[in-house]
Structure 1
Amino acid sequence: MFAALPLLALPVLAYNLAAVTLPGGFGSQEAAIRMSEPMFDVAMSTGVRWPVTLGDLLLLAGLIVLFIEMLKSTTSRRTAIVNHALSLLLFIGCLVEFLLAPAFATSTFFLLGVMVLLDVLAGFIVTIVSARRDIDFGPGDP
């Protein structure tokens, strides 16, 4: 049952938790500030310090999870179809949050939403293509 849950819900949930802890909650406009505050620095070989932000970490997690979701979408089991439907619901939720809640009007959340949309589109396309290959045509059929 857990295989059907879209993993991209995890970075979206993490963003929601970060946004709800802001003063003013989802109505706060300080989410962009929180997402761009450096959490730690990484020393590069050139001597420059690379500041890593919460938004960077959420996007990294989203990209890793998107890769896993792409691998999961290649199966044509019933759980994959449920996963695609739940991913579509997740995208609709992300779209509503992005359009209606000020705390979600950030580039970080927009890119997370695009990742969810790509998961939905890729999942449906991969399922359709693999379903077309599973159909057997008789002799003489195209």
Structure 2
Amino acid sequence: MLAAIPLLILPFAIYNLAMIGMFGGLAGLNADMVSLSMLSGATWTMRFGDLLIVGALLLLFVELLKATRTSSRALMDHLLSMILFIVFLIEFLLLAPAATQLFFILMTISFIDVIAGFAVSMRSAGRDVSIGL
């Protein structure tokens, strides 16, 4: 059952923790995490929110790898991913602190997880042909 839990719940939970005041609130998501001087003389900065997006993209990659494996948990995994996306959408529409670009990008990543998961499962279902003799 634990393997069916969508990994994208982690960035969702981190954002919600920031909404309730942890990590310095939503302003903490704009805190600089890394700042590097480039050879061009420019300064490249990565904020906590940017790092959250990168982490969500890495988790999306793992979710897509999980979707390619056929197992009895695949349906539950897709269902939970869909529920997570619906919760993202409801929160985005109804809560003012969730109406940010960062939250929208995280919601879009969750949507891609849902669509890709269904596409992979439909494609693998088309190949599952058995002939009864």
Same fold (TM over 0.5): yes
Q: 1:125 aligns with which of 99, 113, 119?
A: 119
**Which ranges of structure 2 fall in alignment gaps of 5 or more residues?**
none
Aligned to 2:80: 86
Question: Once the two structures are aligned, what percentage of the paired residues are identical?
Answer: 42
* Number of equivalences: 130
Native 8 Å contact 1:42 1:50 kept in 2:
yes
Are residues 1:114 and 2:108 paired? yes
- Describe the superposition over 1:49-104 as per-residue Cα deviations: whole angstroms up to 9, x where unpaired: 21211210110001000000000000121212111100000000000110010110
Distance 2:29 2:92 in 1: 15
Instruction: Say which structure, 1 or 2, has more relative contact order (CA 8 Å, 6+ apart).
Output: 1
Secondary structure in 1 aligned to 2:69? coil
- The equivalent residue for 1:19 is 19
Cα separation, 1, equivalents of 2:107 and 2:129: 34
* TM-score of the two chains, using structure 1 as the length reference: 0.83
Residue 128 of structure 2: aligned partner: 134
Amino acid at match of 2:53: L
Could you say what the CA RMSD is over the residues aligned between the two structures, in angstroms?
Answer: 1.8
Amino acid at match of 1:72: K
Q: What's the TM-score, normalizing by structure 2?
A: 0.89
Shift of 1:36: 3.2
Query: What's the counterpart of residue 6 of structure 2?
Result: 6
Is the Cα contact below 8 Å between 1:66 and 1:115 reproduced in 2? yes
Could you list the runs of 4 or more consecutive aligned residues of structure 1 that deviate by over 6 angstroms after TM superposition? none
Unaligned runs of 5+ in 1: 23-29
Aligned counterpart, 1:35: 29
1:37/1:54 contact within 8 Å kept: yes
Match of 2:99 among 105, 109, 117: 105
Distance (whole Å) between structure 2 residues aligned to residue 35 and residue 98 of structure 1:
17
In structure 1, distance between residues paired with 2:107 and 2:21: 20
CA distance in 2, matches of 1:69, 1:92: 17
- The reply to whether residue 48 of structure 1 matches residue 45 of structure 2 is no
The reply to whether residue 64 of structure 1 matches residue 58 of structure 2 is yes
